[in-house]
Structure 1
Amino acid sequence: MNRVAVINVVGLTKSQLGEDTPRLNAFVEKCALSAFPPAFPAVTCTAQSSYVTGRSEAEHGIVGNGWYDREAAEHKFWKQSNHIVKGEKVWDVLRRELPGFTCAKLFWWYNMYSTADWSITPRPMYPADGRKVFDVYTHPMGMREEIKADLGEFPFPTFWGPMAGIPCSEWIANSARWVEDRHQPTLSLVYLPHLDYGLQKYGPGAPEMKKELQDIDRVAGELIEYYEQRGIEVILLSEYGISKVSKPIHLNRIFREKGWIIIKDELGLEQLDCGASKAFAIADHQVAHVYLNDMSLLEEVKKTLLEVEGVEEVRMGKELWGEGTPGAERGGDLVAVSEENAWFTYYYWTDDAVAPDYARCIDIHRKPGYDPVELFFDPAIKNPKVKAAKFLLKKKLGFRGLLDVIPLDATLVKGSHGRDKVREDEMPILASTKHGEITKAEDVFQVILEAVRG
């Protein structure tokens, strides 16, 4: 039984390795390096679920970072229970085979209530007085206060939003060392999200990416060296590559023009009523799940999608997921895939004055789709960081308020992902001392098994 650390550097591809990544280059050069087609959709929750189960999206049921729950008539994004992921997990297989095996799952998604021995995941607290208290959730529960006493509070604002940056990945890397020093897991799964932010915000090849690459090279490189010094085999992994984009696609606005979307007036602002709509889109980067409450419109909706500028193809849900699978239960009746330089917004309003209140906020759960514009401060706001600081102070004092600092300009976004048909230099990568052929995301599961088995 070998000890193994899987370091997931999100957004890392062959095209990102270069003069600004000397530590990562040095590791890759002494390894076997594979680029492989990403999971579909090529997004975090789907990719990670394929890696830890060795199953397809149809089988494990994670058809995106979020989807529409037909029974509850609600969209659900960024949920955290590991029970959502169907199939036996890699740590359960190894624990059954190898007496004494243990696993630490550090910031990989679906990290609550898994059977990993140690886990840490971002999880705010929401007291009844309206506050949002930044925090993490850990298993065992007592580890939360112990690790914060040693490392300080998790820098939550740098994990997502306009202030997203290297501090959160530094804290995660430090937490991996902290867990290793105390518990020596057989398998450590470590998620470093930093590179993802700059690539979406600035786009691949932008001048600003030089520092972003240097920062993640330092953090990931130092963590690799730490593990290697302890005789731990390192697997360097990523989930997807990011393409330059310049064309946002507003499917729900098009559906609204067709009369398929139902809008509710709530306190003078517009809310999308998915349960009452005939057809609507749940956007997730370069993929959009389209759900129909009126199946008689299927061919018309498909035809409309194919006529939208920037849509490359439309896949039938039944063909993607099959009948009676977890994927079929959750995935769209139609799945639209954008062209390389385009991506899908969730926007459904036609007048910014009546956009929902959450549109200008960092609100990853309430929005009916992923919103990368949350990475930007509204340029029309003077001193947005001061406004954010005042908001956080109000929250600490128990007052209600909106941190409405996010713009409504989707053209700001310069990078996106989600397509499975991408160039080799934009495919995810895996580097390890040795591994078999990787032809799909599910093969990563076997690589991890074989590395630990020795």
Structure 2
Amino acid sequence: MKRLAVLNVVGLCERELLEMPFLRKWAEGRERRSFKPAFPAVTCTAQSSYLTGLAVGEHGIVGNGWYDREAAEVKFWKQSNHLVKGEKLWERLRRERPGFRCAKWFWWYNMYSSAEFSMTPRPMYPADGRKFFDVYAHPLSLRDEVKKELGDFPFPSFWGPRAGIDSSKWIANSAKWIEKRESPDLNLVYLPHLDYSLQKFGPGAPETVQEIKAIDDVLADLIPYLEGRGIEVVVLSEYGISKVDRVVHLNRIFREKEWITIKDELGLEQLDCGASKVFAVADHQVAHIYLNDLSLKEEVRTLLQSTDGVEEIREGWEGVGGERGGDLVAVSEADSWFSYYYWLDDAVAPDFARTIDIHRKPGYDPAELFIDPALKFPQLKVAAFLAKKKLGIRGLLDVIPLDADLVKGSHGRDSVGPDEQPVVVGTGASQCGSEREVFHYLLKRCKAD
């Protein structure tokens, strides 16, 4: 029976492909096409569109996070696959091909999925406040078995200042491991490496050259291995990265209008979304604007339209609204992006602002890719923290800067040039003219003779 591997190389577009000797040569013998990205052009939305073939208003994933109106909480980077509505690619194939088996390897929404095999980053959080890096797997036995052969997943290289090639190497090796062990009919493999340097330094920066080469080397090992086992390989991406030099702090603007409610907690400021009249949930170059006071809608729209760095305001399903999305959705200009910052004085910023804390922050924070340049001896600070952690002493690893201007690359817009659009490479890939058509393309390839 036909078997397929889909390698999701995050951040890949024609611009980067030209700098990847192996992948460029491999692509020459196949079809490839760039296409307009999903909106918002972010990981969770794009992947959900690829794997369901549905519009955002149907699968419900309006971004990497959103405001839960009932819980009055912003929720980012949740992992339950039940959040994604609609029939999934592997479910459709299983219905049409009894016995079909899928491995969903580090793609998002990977907990409690109906895929036969899955693995995703998932720390353990004991009740005493400690945090232990780990992965979640289904069946659960895969977790210990893969670590026995490959060692622990290098979690610090998956996100944060140490984000780098080691995590993508480990994922690629574990994809080979599950292939050797189970030979799934569909192997979905997530390789995030390019995303890091492109956001940190921006496209075209000298620092990105070796990082592009690094992921090309991973593909040069993984693709021949898979093809050598008779598997057809498709390479695709979710979005390209745009060069940015301006950050827009929407919540600070709303605060100046006295629409934001702030709580004082132990001398530090916390955003109280449930009590605020208007607030933004920032997600790269897109921000969901939630209005607890709908009478302010036109005033908010007028304010956003006059804000430097904001290009467009959308609403309704077209703007990714509905149950989860904002009442308005702001889209940045090409050279700009949105921060979640709401404090006006760094001295009262919340304690999590200077840490890697993707779940507590009410928005995405790419500054987590940096070590605060104001720290004189950051490595000593990290070493001291780790030593205390081994002794069971709790503390904050507060090494993340509050300078959003450090970020040089972003994404999220769907109006981007051909050299920044996502790309798909594979047999018959020219038929993919949109993110939703990727679903039908993959479905067709899995059923091809």
TM-score by length of 1: 0.97
Equivalent of 1:342, from 324, 333, 336? 336
Q: Distance in 1 between matches of 2:430 and 2:13?
A: 19
Q: Distance in 1 between matches of 2:137 and 2:329?
A: 35
2:416 counterpart residue number: 422
1:318–1:333 CA contact under 8 A, matched in 2: no
2:349 counterpart residue number: 355
Tell me the CA shift for residue 437 of structure 1: 2.0
Secondary structure of the 2:67 match is strand
2:9 counterpart residue number: 9
The one-letter amino acid of 2:354's match is R
Tell me the CA shift for residue 445 of structure 1: 0.6
1:140 counterpart residue number: 139
Secondary structure of the 1:442 match is helix
2:221 pairs with 1:222? yes
Q: How does 1:167-178 map to 2 (within 5 A)?
A: 167-178=166-177
The one-letter amino acid of 1:429's match is V
2:401 counterpart residue number: 407
2:246 pairs with 1:247? yes
Tell me the CA shift for residue 428 of structure 1: 0.2
Tell me the CA shift for residue 129 of structure 1: 1.5
Tell me the CA shift for residue 390 of structure 1: 2.6
Secondary structure of the 2:270 match is strand
* Structure 1: 5+ residue stretches without partners: 322-326
The one-letter amino acid of 2:371's match is F
Q: How does 1:43-442 map to 2 (within 5 A)?
A: 43-321=42-320, 328-435=322-429, 437-442=431-436
The one-letter amino acid of 1:109's match is W
The one-letter amino acid of 1:300's match is E
2:366–2:407 CA contact under 8 A, matched in 1: yes
Aligned residues between the structures: 448
Q: How does 1:28-43 map to 2 (within 5 A)?
A: 28-43=27-42
Q: Which moved more, 1:383-392 or 1:197-206?
A: 383-392
1:131–1:396 CA contact under 8 A, matched in 2: no
Q: Distance in 2 between matches of 1:391 and 1:235?
A: 43
Tell me the CA shift for residue 319 of structure 1: 4.5
Provide Cα deviations, 1:395-423, integer angstroms capped at 9, x if missing partner: 23322100100000010000000000000
Q: Which moved more, 1:284-293 or 1:376-385?
A: 376-385
1:324 counterpart residue number: none
Q: Distance in 1 between matches of 2:391 and 2:174?
A: 30
Q: Distance in 2 between matches of 1:124 and 1:394?
A: 19
The one-letter amino acid of 1:311's match is V
2:285–2:337 CA contact under 8 A, matched in 1: yes
Provide Cα deviations, 1:86-144, integer angstroms capped at 9, x if missing partner: 00000000011112211000000000000101100000000012110000000000110
Q: Which moved more, 1:264-273 or 1:392-401?
A: 392-401
Secondary structure of the 2:431 match is coil
Secondary structure of the 2:190 match is strand
Q: Distance in 1 between matches of 2:436 and 2:62?
A: 14
Provide Cα deviations, 1:262-298, integer angstroms capped at 9, x if missing partner: 0000000000000000000000000000000000000
Q: Distance in 2 between matches of 1:366 and 1:123?
A: 15
1:287–1:338 CA contact under 8 A, matched in 2: yes
Secondary structure of the 1:131 match is coil
Q: CA RMSD in A?
A: 1.0
Provide Cα deviations, 1:347-379, integer angstroms capped at 9, x if missing partner: 000000000000000000000100000000001
Tell me the CA shift for residue 182 of structure 1: 0.5
Q: Distance in 1 between matches of 2:194 and 2:318?
A: 34
* Structure 2: 5+ residue stretches without partners: none
Tell me the CA shift for residue 439 of structure 1: 2.1
Secondary structure of the 2:57 match is helix
Secondary structure of the 1:75 match is strand
The one-letter amino acid of 1:403's match is L
Q: Distance in 1 between matches of 2:203 and 2:430?
A: 30
1:130–1:395 CA contact under 8 A, matched in 2: no
2:284–2:364 CA contact under 8 A, matched in 1: yes
The one-letter amino acid of 2:149's match is D
The one-letter amino acid of 1:155's match is P
Secondary structure of the 1:256 match is helix
Secondary structure of the 1:236 match is strand
Secondary structure of the 2:323 match is helix
Q: Distance in 2 between matches of 1:54 and 1:448?
A: 10
